[in-house]
Each structure stands twice: as structure tokens, then as C-alpha cells.
Amino acid sequence: MTGPHVWRNVARISLLLVVASFVLAPLWATVMGGFKTNAEIRTSAFALPDTWNLEVYGSILADAAFWRYLGNSLLISCTAVVLTLLVGSAAAYVFAQIRFFGSEFLFSYLLLGMMFPFATAILPLFIKVRDIGLLDTYWAVILPQTAFGLSLAILLFRTFFQQLPKELFEAAYIDGCGYVRFFLRFTLPLSTPILATVGVFVFVQSWNNFLLPLVVLNSREVFTWPLGMMQYRGEYVTQWNQTLAFVTLSLVPAVVFFLAAQKYIVAGLTGGAVKG
């Protein structure tokens, strides 16, 4: 390696470290904040704590409400993922495999959901959910989330299904395998990469969603974690160590999930978005 190259690389790495510290400093202060007293946060927000005080974190972990919020979110997100994958792939399969009068029209119709933001229709959605009698239930969040996720899911699924080898279907068809059975026995098992990508996308969207639960959920028993977090913040307005510990613990599942499924998450959140 020659001199200029080394220096260029040193400059590059230092620059990246500066940006990395801009990204990580707030997160660091948050994690550390949970170990400190409020007086200590006040004087040194970024230093290591003088003594590692585990009380605040402990009290949150012992709080049933904290687990309740996470459990609610998990239930809602998982159901939304399963529903989106099932309903979306079924529809996409029809569009990929069967030509019928109006199929192009229906396909375009189902893609309309990608045209506009969720918030556009949030008030009528609130009225609708209320009139159906779903207000303050898990379904009030699950069903609209599924419906809004369908457009992208159907688009990505159809593209993927169309690329599956046609010979497979013809062979199965001659053996007497019908469309529905072929879908369940062959198409779905062969499509795990795209199912995973879309599943991760829907999960992250659902897990992080705030506006919809805020509008349709009222009681703390059904709160998702972002609502629970805001509630907690409201209760401990002046006690940052409590709030910061709560935020840290609430983010743990997302970070673990991200590290575990990194490949799919990056593909789902950027690749999926790009194709859309």
C-alpha cells in the first residue's frame, strides 16, 4: 500500500466514525440513562453511570403493563403478517396463473393502495371501524393494516409467481392437481424468499405503527407498545431515567429481530420499496 492510499482510508474511516457517532450518541445516552439517577443525567447525559443502578430497568421488567404492550403488539403484527401473506398470495396467484375477463382491471384496482398515504383516509377509517363495532379491539388495527399492505404484497407476489417454471404447473395439472391445490402444495412452498421479504416488511410496518392504534385503541389493555411508551412518558414526565429505560427495553425486540433477520429486512425495506 502506498502512502496516499493509507491516508485516504484513514480519512474515510474517521469520517464514517463521525457519522456513526452522530447516529449512535442519542441511542447510547438512552441506554445509559436508564442506569442513572435523574440528577446524574442532568449533569452528564453521555458519560458512563457512576454506579450501575439496575432499579429502574428492574421495575419496568417487573411491570405487567410493559409485557402486556409488547404482547399486544406481537399478536397484532403476527396476525397482520399471516393475513397479508395468505390473502395477498392467494390473490396474486390468481393474477399470475389465471387469465379471465377483468383480471387486469382488478389487479390495477388492488394496486391503488400504493398511490396514497395511510393518513389520507384515517378519519373515515376511524368511523368505519367504529360502525362495524371493532373500536378498541385488536382487529381494528389488524384489518386495516392488512388491507393497506395488500397492494405491495400482491405486486411482489405476482412478479415472483410468474417467474416460477410453467412446466411444473402443466405436469401437476396433467396429474389431476387443481389450481387451489397447486397453490397450496407447490406455489407457496416454492415462494419462501418472497414470503419472507413481504412478511418482514409488513411486520416492521405493523410493529412500528403509531397513528392507526392511536386513533382506534382507547384502553390500556389493548395498547400496542408505541402507545404504551407514550402513556409511560406521560406518567413520568420529569423522570427521564424511567422513560429512557422504557424506550430502551421496548426497542430490544426490534434490534434483536433486525440483527437476526438483517438480510430480509434490508431487502424487504429497500428492495421491496424500490420495486413498488
Return d(Cα 129, Cα 125) in angstroms, integer.
6
CA-wise closest residue to 211 among 134, 129, 114, 141: 141
- Closest to other proteins by CB, 61 or 123: 123
Binding segment for other proteins (CB under 8 A), chosen from 50-58, 158-166, 190-198, 261-269, is 261-269
| 134 vs 143: CA distance, rounded Å | 10
Query: Is residue 100 part of the contact set for other proteins (CB under 8 A)?
Result: yes
Alpha helix (H) residue ranges in 112-210:
122-132, 139-163, 166-174, 179-182, 188-190, 192-208
Which phi-psi region, left, alpha or beta, contains residue 35 (left: φ > 0; alpha: ψ -120 to 50)?
A: alpha
> Which of 76, 141, 143, 152 lies at the binding interface for other proteins (CB under 8 A)?
143
The C-alpha angle with vertex 34 and arms to 31 and 37, in degrees rounded to 5, equals: 135
Which residue lies nearer to other proteins by CB, 64 or 174? 174
Angle of helix 240-260 relative to helix 192-208, nearest 10 degrees, comes to 170
Query: Terminus-to-terminus CA distance in the chain, angstroms?
Result: 43
Q: Which is nearer to other proteins, 61 or 255 (CB)?
A: 255
Does 119 bind other proteins (CB under 8 A)? Our answer is yes
Written as nine digits, the cell of 31 is 441506554
Decide: is 188 part of the binding site for other proteins (CB under 8 A).
Answer: no
CA 219 to chain centre: 23
Task: For the segment 4-43, give every residue that binds other proteins (CB under 8 A).
Answer: 12-13, 15-16, 19-20, 22-27, 29-30, 33, 38, 41-43
| Ranges within 40-59 binding other proteins (CB under 8 A) | 41-46
Among 10, 48, 180, 252, binds other proteins (CB under 8 A): 180
Total binding residues toward other proteins, as defined by CB under 8 A? 93
Residue 71 half-sphere exposure toward CB, CA atoms < 13 A: 9
**Which of 51, 115, 167, 174: binder of other proteins (CB under 8 A)?**
115
Decide: 246 and 232 in contact? Cβ < 8 Å: yes
Please identify which residue in 148, 160, 161, 223 interacts with other proteins, judged by CB under 8 A: 148
| Segment contacting other proteins by CB under 8 A, of 50-58, 93-101, 163-171, 191-199 | 93-101
Shortest reach from residue 54's CB to other proteins, in Å: 20
Instruction: Tell me whether residue 72 or residue 250 sits nearer to other proteins (CB atom).
Output: 250
Residue 235 CB, nearest approach to other proteins (Å): 13
Round to whole Å and give the CA distance between 50 and 37: 10
**Range in contact with other proteins (rule: CB under 8 A) among 53-61, 64-72, 160-168, 259-267:** 259-267
- Answer for which of 195, 250, 264, 272 binds other proteins (CB under 8 A) is 250
